[in-house]
Structure 1
């Protein structure tokens, strides 16, 4: 009888731990979820951003002009919802490699090389910062990316 009680106890502990882990993913799982939503052109991607997130987009033109644009998370969410169908129609994808996750207090900085499949260039400056909300789930509070207007594709 003790064996059955122990088994049930360990099973309950395992299930409780698994459910808690499923509700609060690791930074790597969070980023993998971000990638999946991005690859599937899922507008739910916008839900991963805090309304107060700081989004920085840096663009360098071939003639040397450089521009920087800053958006709030709320502005970025609205843009994602508008642009996702356009990105899907043109099959505009980002592929991530060399992913490095660095803890910074309770936050995490996720740095990666972001390859644009539609313009054939790699953004080596890409990063995001995530932070747990009150419920423990992560949200994006900062993101930086570098873009270019022209394609490097042949």
Structure 2
């Protein structure tokens, strides 16, 4: 069977071949545009190992608060989603809870962006601040590691 378009006759096989090519090209273009148009989103990861609670933030501008409540350490980031590894459990998309028993140290790393990190637990803390205008609010016993922004005056440190 064949069809006619203008003065040109096309076979059914030719039409199917060209139709497949058009669909494949359209699907590839849609996938590429979706990937380009999607927002960059990096998750904040929380884990516990050997008495240390580790918070590792992505590249978003983070607003992280770490608190102690009813035998649990709560990690909340209003600037990003938060995912916890066992024994930590998700409370909301932006918050996880970890058992506080045996945890003696908080280690937090922020990514690029203007970040706020609050440690309201009383735990000793290691803070690794990445480039950006970062604010660290913590209790005593803070160790600040190699922050890309720590060489300048664009970090605020508050101890209580």
TM-score (norm 1): 0.31
In terms of fraction of residues, the more helix-rich structure is: 1
Compare the two structures and name the one with the higher strand fraction: 2
With normalisation by structure 2, the TM-score equals 0.31
Tell which structure's C-alpha radius of gyration is larger: 2
Q: Choose between structure 1 and 2 for higher RCO, CA contacts under 8 A separated by at least 6 residues.
A: 1
